[in-house]
Amino acid sequence: MEIQKKENHFYMTNHAFVMKAEGLKKKLIVKKEEPTGLVTVQTDPNAVHGWKCKKVADIDSLDDKAYGKGESLIVDFGDHQVGYLVMKIRPVGSPPDAPLHLRLTFGEMPIEMGEDFATYDGWVSSSWLQQETMHIDVLPHVLQMPRRYSFRYLKIEVLDASPKYAVAFDEIYCETVTSADTRKLSPITTADPLLAEMDRISIKTLQDCMQDIFEDGPKRDRRLWLGDLRLQALANYETFKNYDLVKRCLYLFAAVTDENGQVSSNVFVAPNLIPDDTYLFDYSSFFPVTLYDYFVATEDLETAKELWPTAYRQIELALERVNENHLVMDDTSGAWWAFIDWHKDLNKQAAAHAILIYAMKRALGLARAVDDEKRAAFLDNKIKQMKKAAVEYLWDEKQQFFVSGAERQVSWASQVWMVLAEVFDIEKSSQLIDMLLTERPAIGPVTPYMYHHLIDALIMVDERDVARQVMKEYWGEMIEDGADTFWEAYDPKNKNFSPYGNSLINSYCHAWSCTPTYFIRKYKMY
């Protein structure tokens, strides 16, 4: 174990774990994907974000066209791609007597083709916007872009060239990369076309996020986030069954903890493995959950034993936030201490309390699997204490809801997580879910991440038909709005919602949104 420092951030590196993770790294699967046609982008008040793309020609029309200064085209690949662009560019006319000046804009959605990136005003760095400007001195030229992109649409603009020549694009394609082996997929048979499409798009979303790690999004942030990993792994067990990739990610998290042993919310893997300096109560608590799910899927007892100390340490650290009344303490400082969901007004105390119970129940399963009876007994007792505290301090008998924080906020997240934590028995949890769906509190879910937990809670109380319907309404409406892969954030009541202040920067292929395939396949909802 080595203590290291990055800026003002101290962390410990377990080099044995790093080596194990690197030993699980596999060669990516590469495939050549060609565009299907040419499109134009136009405003449409009825389209999501106010933009839509319309096909104007087949891709073969490129053979008959050359582009000069000020001209542009938008190429449609027909589906979401993650990989490396290749273009064969040929001069037409006189010999080129000046460099070719090109701008390439890559977009997952029509908004990225329609809006000027210079107008972007969100609080996440604009460097995530996928746009490149270049000069090409010698033509003809095979342009092989060294950076990986995540896109469906490609806008090519000829910013300048000599008046004596134009350029033709003889070939355009993307060398896609993924660690997901589609040969391992088993087909499902369903008479419901929406469920079939939802399953397909979920799998595509997962596939495009499976790289050397489970990325949260191939456009942004291209990182291994623990909350995303947990949901990706569940979907992976029902589809690609790439167990080694989950195992690799678990070892990466365990390899770099802070000086107290806490796993970071996310890690960077290049150029070297480094943990982010963001530590979230719920994400760290999900490490034992993700390890438990992996153990259930694989029965890999050796890995469970080796990572058990790291997993249990997350519970110990989380319990430091529990007061003498066995209640998770709220944070009123404004600090980002837990994620839960992107709703800006959400109080997180009750959901965090339930998540810790949920995590301890999975940690209890691990403790028993590795024969750690002392810790198993401790966890069993602590779970009982915290479930009792949830009812005593957070349950509002008059409202028939769990409340959160000093203002006793009622939110969907609080109720959903209390159901998942099994604070009540099935009968009373079912009544709580019915009350939630009837009263529909104002502080609702705004991401597929939170909707996943709502679907999970519905299934837990044996409301599979309702779960299927909610899933079809939410992800189905996303499909109606043009999703080729499922998105990071989606609020049907506010379709321009962005946690970052601008929809341009949103990730439109995002790991935590891929779980309809998990529910459809695991619970045979087709």
pLDDT per residue as tens digits for the range 363-396: 999 999 999 999 999 999 999 999 999 999 999 9
Does residue 269 carry a pLDDT above 70? yes
pLDDT tops 90 at residue 10: no
Question: Residue 487 pLDDT > 70, yes or no?
Answer: yes
Where would I find the beta strands (DSSP E) of 191-230?
224-225
Q: What is the pLDDT of residue 64?
A: 86
Residue 457 and residue 416 in contact, taking contact as beta carbons nearer than 8 Å: yes
What would the mean pLDDT of 134-160 be, rounded to a whole number?
Answer: 98
Per-residue pLDDT averaged across 19-40, rounded?
A: 98
Average pLDDT in the 520-526 region? Answer: 96
- In the predicted model, is pLDDT for residue 47 greater than 80? yes
154 - beta bridge partners?
75, 106
- CA count, 13 A, side-chain hemisphere, 346: 25
For residue 480, give every residue at least 6 positions away whose Cβ sits within 8 Å of its Cβ, in sequence order, or none. none
Q: Which domains does the chain have, with CATH numbers?
A: 29-178 (2.60.120.260), 282-338+344-443 (1.50.10.10)
**CA–CA separation, 150 and 160 (whole Å):** 26
Per-residue pLDDT at 365: 98
52 has a pLDDT exceeding 90? yes
- Which residue type does 444 have? G
Q: Which amino acid is at 307?
A: L
Mean pLDDT of the chain: 97
How sure is the predictor about 115, in pLDDT bands with cuts at 50, 70 and 90?
very high
Task: Summarize pLDDT for 284-306 with one digit per residue, the tens.
Answer: 999 999 999 999 999 999 999 99
Give the containing element (helix H, strand E) for 150.
Answer: strand 149-160
Round to whole Å and give the CA distance between 292 and 287.
9
Does residue 9 register a pLDDT over 80?
no
More confident residue, 3 or 295: 295
Kindly tell me if the per-residue pLDDT of 1 is higher than 80. Answer: no
Report the alpha-carbon distance of residue 37 to residue 351 in Å, rounded. Answer: 47
Mean pLDDT computed over 65-89? 98
Global confidence as pTM: 0.96
3-class DSSP string for 410-468:
CEHHHHHHHHHCCCCCHHHHHHHHHHHHHHCCCECCCCHHHHHHHHHHHHHCCCHHHHH
pLDDT of residue 7: 65
